[in-house]
Amino acid sequence: MPIVEIISRACRDCYRCLCKCPTHAIALQEGHARIVAARCTGCGQCVSECSQHAIRLRDSAAEIANASQTESAGIRPPAALIARPQPTEAQLAEILDRIGMAKPEDELNCGACGYDRCRELAAAVFEGIAEVELCVPFLRRQAGRISLILQDSANALCW
């Protein structure tokens, strides 16, 4: 059981919490933020970051203690982190290529996705706890392409 809970009906998909979490315990899945129990330390930073009050710390130790042994094990991050699947260099390169970073010099390491380095985001994508759409420069390029297509379509309609 995660120490915090996202109240989906209140969430507005702004993704601020993803960037705030120091242990990357909030992942993007199918467009929505979700808690990765194995990484959550219960620091509460996401709770104060959410302007929609859509994240709550579970009320009490009792609520957490009621979780099953398996779920409770998930709240100890070091053990969970050791068990994380590690991508090969080729798998990382494939994901980076999808984001538009075919060469090491393309990696901006700007931190806008919430990960300090592009390779960390790629590793999280490999792990299934993040999506390439978290990369802001990638999204901008995608938006630029869509804008050009729309412009071409509009031009074609004028002829």
Residues that bind ligand SF4 (CB under 6 A): 3-4, 6, 11-17, 20-21, 23, 25-26, 33, 35, 40-46, 49-50, 52, 54-55, 99, 108-113, 115, 118, 121, 135-138
CB closer to ligand SF4 out of 40 and 147: 40
Picking from 41, 127, 49, the residue whose alpha carbon sits closest to that of residue 84 is 127
CB closer to ligand SF4 out of 97 and 152: 97
CB closer to ligand SF4 out of 110 and 146: 110
Q: Say how far residue 91 (Cα) sits from the centre of its chain.
A: 18
Q: Say how far residue 63 (Cα) sits from the centre of its chain.
A: 26
Closest distance to ligand SF4 from the beta carbon of 88 (Å): 19
Closest distance to ligand SF4 from the beta carbon of 62 (Å): 18
Angle between helix axes 89-99 and 118-127 (nearest 10 degrees) is: 110
Q: What are phi and psi of 57, to 5 degrees?
A: -75, 135
CB closer to ligand SF4 out of 12 and 76: 12
Contact between 56 and 11 under an 8 Å Cβ cutoff? The reply is no
